[in-house]
Amino acid sequence: VNKELNEQLKILKPSVVINTCGPFQNADYAVAKTCIENKVHYIDLADGRDFVCGITALDAMAKQNDVLVVSGASTVPGLSSAVLKNFKGEFSIIDSLVYGITPGQKTPRGLATTQGVLSYLGKPLKKSGDSKIRYG
């Protein structure tokens, strides 16, 4: 995939690549690295915490090549950020945000979505404040 991606980036010369090819939970950063090497901005829709947090390892390389690398630009951060921005003047302080998101009942669920959801089953979720440990 990376050789083909590298060739296509050289031919097409896009400004940005938006990676929607999940699941990201056990993925590597080959697509992002290939984009950086070709001086192409990179955005992905990753929802896997480890993947999103780990992409910071590419920060120096991205800065050296003068490109933006954004991971985790998915529905929840997009919607929660929009809601917070809209209501930021309404509250003096926001301690936490509790939200939920589900697909519509008629929305088809692809393999990547199913694999992503199943990857969290039975695993402990990080605690917030002094709450109990929860399991996915």
pLDDT per residue as tens digits for the range 46-71: 888 889 999 999 999 999 999 999 99
Contact yes or no for 78/47 (Cβ under 8 A): no
Sign of CA dihedral 53, 57, 60, 61: negative
Contact 72, 46 (CB under 8 A): yes
Higher pLDDT, 39 or 78: 39
Evaluate whether 89 touches 62 at the Cβ level (below 8 Å).
no
pLDDT in tens, 1-48: 789 999 999 999 999 999 998 888 889 999 999 999 999 999 999 888
> Structural domain boundaries of the chain?
2-70
